[in-house]
Amino acid sequence: MKKIVIAIDGPSASGKSTLAKDLAARLGYIYVDSGAMYRAVTLFFLQHHIALNNPEAVQHALEHIQIRFTRDERGNRTLLNHQDVEDAIRQMQVSKWVSPVAAIPAVRVAMVQQQQAMGSRKGIVIDGRDIGTVVFPEAELKFFVTAGLETRAQRRHAELLKKNADVSFQEVLENLQERDRIDTTRAVSPLRQADDAFVIDNTFVSREAQLQLALDLMQQKLNPTDR
C-alpha cells in the first residue's frame, strides 16, 4: 500500500496523540506531534520572555525556532533547536500558555510550514487541532478523536501525577475548559471536525479497541472493495 498522510484532530487530552503514536508504530510511519510543536514554541517564548502582544518580537523569535522529532527507548521526543525538551514542554506552566501562543497567526503560519515540510514525503501520522482542515486538507485519511471533559481531565491529571507534578484535578479540569474555549473560538484555524473525518469517541473505549477501530476505518476508506 502506498504511503499516505493521516490527519488526527481533537481537543486536549482526548487520546488523539495515543492513537497517532499507535497508528504510526503499526504502520511504520513517522509520528508528528503538532501539539508538542506549539508547546515547544511556548517554552521558547517563556524562556526568552517574548511578549505575545509584540508582533516584531514574536516574528524574530520564530525565525530562531526549529523543531523536529526523534525516538528512543522512552518513546517520541521533541527537539527544540537540537535540544530534547519533551519533559519540559509537558509542565503546567507551558500548558497554561500554549493556547494563547497557538492562537497567534504568525506562530501558526510558521508551524504549518514546518509541518507541511515534514509531510511532503508522505508516510506520517500527525495530530493537532487543525490538521485535517488547514495543514493537510487533502490528507487521504482523517480522524476526529474526542472524549468527555471529565474523562479527559482524569487522564491528563493521572499523566501529570506520574511525572510528580504538583497539580490538582480541579486545576487540570479548568485548564482543559479554558483551552477548549480558546481552541474552538480563535479567529485563525479553530478546532473543528473536518467534513470528511471519521469521528472516534473514546470515552468508554480502550486503547487497543481505539486502534483497531481506526485500522478498520482505514481499510474501509482506502480499500472499500475488500470488505
**In a domain? residue 223:** no
**In a domain? residue 227:** no
pLDDT value, residue 226 = 60
Domain that holds residue 43: 5-215
Instruction: Kindly give, in sequence order, each residue whose CB lies less than 8 Å from that of residue 69, ignoring residues fewer than 6 positions away.
Output: 30, 31, 32, 33, 36, 76, 77, 78, 79
Q: Which CATH number do you get for residue 204?
A: 3.40.50.300
pTM greater than the 0.85 cutoff:
no
Q: Give the pLDDT confidence of 106-161 residue by residue, as tens digits.
A: 999 999 999 999 999 899 999 999 999 999 999 999 999 999 999 999 999 999 99
Count of domains forming the chain: 1
How many whole angstroms separate alpha carbon 28 and alpha carbon 161? 31
Q: Give the pLDDT confidence of 210-223 residue by residue, as tens digits.
A: 999 999 999 988 88
